[in-house]
């Protein structure tokens, strides 16, 4: 394999690993804007049922209710006015 191909492969691996680590963080952080938007637009103007959003974020709700993330998540959501 050439040096250029090895370089591209390791670059793609780094990008993939970074995305793999960032996606869960972005998922949790998205709860603030989504909750704020649900509050301000009354469930996205009725387009998305509240139950669907609760189901999608049930892992984050579990983190809030059953782990030490309760206080940090509360502070984060208060930051968003929720």
User: What is the pTM for the complete model shown?
Assistant: 0.77
pLDDT at position 50, please?
Answer: 86
pLDDT digits (tens, 9 = 90+) for 7-45: 666 888 888 999 999 999 999 999 999 999 888 887 777
Mean pLDDT of the chain: 87
User: What is the spatial distance between Cα 22 and Cα 51, in angstroms, rounded to a whole number?
Assistant: 26
pLDDT at position 44, please?
Answer: 74
pLDDT at position 4, please?
Answer: 55
């Amino acid at each position: 394999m050439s040096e250029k191909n090895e370089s591209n492969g390791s670059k793609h691996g780094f990008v993939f690993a970074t995305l793999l680590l960032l996606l869960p963080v972005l998922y949790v952080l998205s709860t603030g804007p989504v909750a704020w938007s649900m509050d301000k637009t009354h469930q996205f103007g009725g387009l998305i049922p509240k139950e669907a959003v609760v189901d999608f974020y049930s892992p984050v709700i579990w983190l809030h209710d059953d782990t030490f993330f309760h206080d940090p998540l509360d502070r984060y959501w208060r930051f968003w006015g929720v």
